A and B are shown apart, each in its own frame.
Chain A
Amino acid sequence: MVADQSAAQVPLLEGRGLTRIYRMGDTEVAALRGVDFRIDLGENVAIIGPSGSGKSTLLHILGLLDRQSAGQYLFAGVDTDTLDDDRLAVLRNRAIGFIFQSFNLVSGESALENVASPLVYAGVKRRERLDRAQESLVRVGLGDRLHHDPSQLSGGQRQRVAIARALVTRPALILADEPTGNLDSHSSAEVFALLEQLQDQGLTLVTITHDQRIANRAQRILRVEDGSLIDGNAGDSSYLDHAEQGVS
Chain B
Amino acid sequence: MSYVEALRLALRRLRTNALRTGLTSLGVIIGVASLVALIGVGEGTQTALTKQIAGLGTNLLSVNAGGSLVGGIRGAAGSSSTLSLTDATAIAALPGVLAVAPEMAVPNVVIVSGRANTTTSMTGTTPAEQTVRAYEIQTGSFISDLAVAKGLRVAVLGPTTVTNLNLTPAEVVGSTVTIDGIPFTVIGVTQPKGGSGFSNPDDVVFTPISAVQSRFTGASSLRTVGVSVADPNNIAYVTSEIQATLRLRHALASTASDDFTMVSQNQLLSVASSTTATIRNFLIGIAAIALVVGGIGIANTMLVSVRERVREIGTRKAIGARRRDIGRQFLVEAVIVTLGGAVVGVLLGMAVTGPVGSAVSVPAVPTLGGIALAFGSALVVGIVAGYLPARQASRLDPVEALRYE
Q: Which residues of A contact B (CB under 8 A)?
A: 60, 63, 65-66, 85-86, 89-90, 92-94, 98, 100, 104-106, 108-109, 113, 117-118, 120-123, 126, 165, 169
B17 proximity list for chain A (CB < 8 A): 108
Q: Which residue of chain B is the closest to A97 with respect to CB atoms? A: B319
Residue in contact with B319 in the complex, picked from A60, A92, A108, CB distance below 8 Å: A92
Residues in A with CB closer than 8 Å to B12 are 108-109, 113
CB distance from B264 to the nearest CB of A (A): 66
User: What B residues does A100 contact at CB under 8 A?
Assistant: 315, 402
In the complex the two chains form, is A120's CB within 8 Å of B1's CB?
yes
The answer to whether B325 touches A121, judged by C-beta atoms less than 8 angstroms apart, is: yes
Residues in A with CB closer than 8 Å to B322 are 85-86, 89-90, 121
> CB-defined interface of B367-405 with A at 8 Å, one 1/0 digit per residue?
000000000000000000000000000000011001000
How many residue pairs between the two chains, A and B, have CB atoms under 8 Å in the bound complex?
67
B5 with A120: CB separation less than 8 A: yes
Known pairs A66-B399, A104-B311, A106-B312; A121 contacts B323 (CB<8 A)? no
User: CA–CA, A31 to B388, complex, Å?
Assistant: 33
Known: A90-B320, A106-B312, A106-B315. 8 other contacts (CB 8 A): A66-B398, A85-B323, A89-B317, A89-B320, A93-B320, A100-B402, A120-B9, A121-B325
Residues of B within 8 A of A118 (CB): 319-320
Interface residues of B in 230-273 (CB under 8 A from A): none
B304 on the interface (CB 8 Å rule)? no
The answer to whether the Cβ of B16 comes within 8 Å of any Cβ in the partner chain is: yes
Whether a CB of chain A sits under 8 angstroms from the CB of B193 is no
Contacts of A104 in B (CB 8 A): 311, 314-315, 318, 402
Q: With A65-B398, A106-B312 in contact, is A123–B2 under 8 Å at CB?
A: yes
A165 to B318, CA, bound (A): 11
Binary interface encoding of chain B residues 265-290 relative to chain A, with 1 for a CB under 8 A from any of its CBs, else 0: 00000000000000000000000000
Does B319 contact A165, Cβ atoms closer than 8 Å? Answer: yes
* Mask of B6-33 contacts with A, CB within 8 angstroms, 1/0: 0011001100110000000000000000
Closest 5 CB pairs between A and B? A93-B320, A121-B320, A118-B319, A104-B315, A108-B16
CB-nearest residue of chain A relative to B13? A108
Q: Could you jot down 21 A-B contacts, CB within 8 Å?
A: A60-B399, A65-B318, A65-B398, A65-B399, A66-B399, A89-B317, A89-B320, A89-B323, A90-B320, A92-B320, A93-B320, A100-B402, A104-B311, A106-B312, A108-B17, A109-B12, A113-B12, A117-B316, A120-B5, A121-B316, A121-B322
Q: For residue A60, give the distance in angstroms from its CB to the closest CB of chain B.
A: 5
B293 in contact (CB, < 8 A): no
B321 at the interface (CB under 8 A from A): yes
**B323 & A93 in contact (Cβ 8 Å cutoff):** no
Choose from B319, B323, B398, B399 the contact partner of A117 (Cβ within 8 Å): B319
Min Cβ gap A8→B in Å is: 27
For the complex, what is the distance from the CA of A90 to the CA of B322, rounded to whole Å?
Answer: 8
Complex-state Cα separation, A90 to B325, whole angstroms: 11
Q: Compute how far the CA of A118 lies from the CA of B319 in the bound complex, rounded to whole angstroms.
A: 5
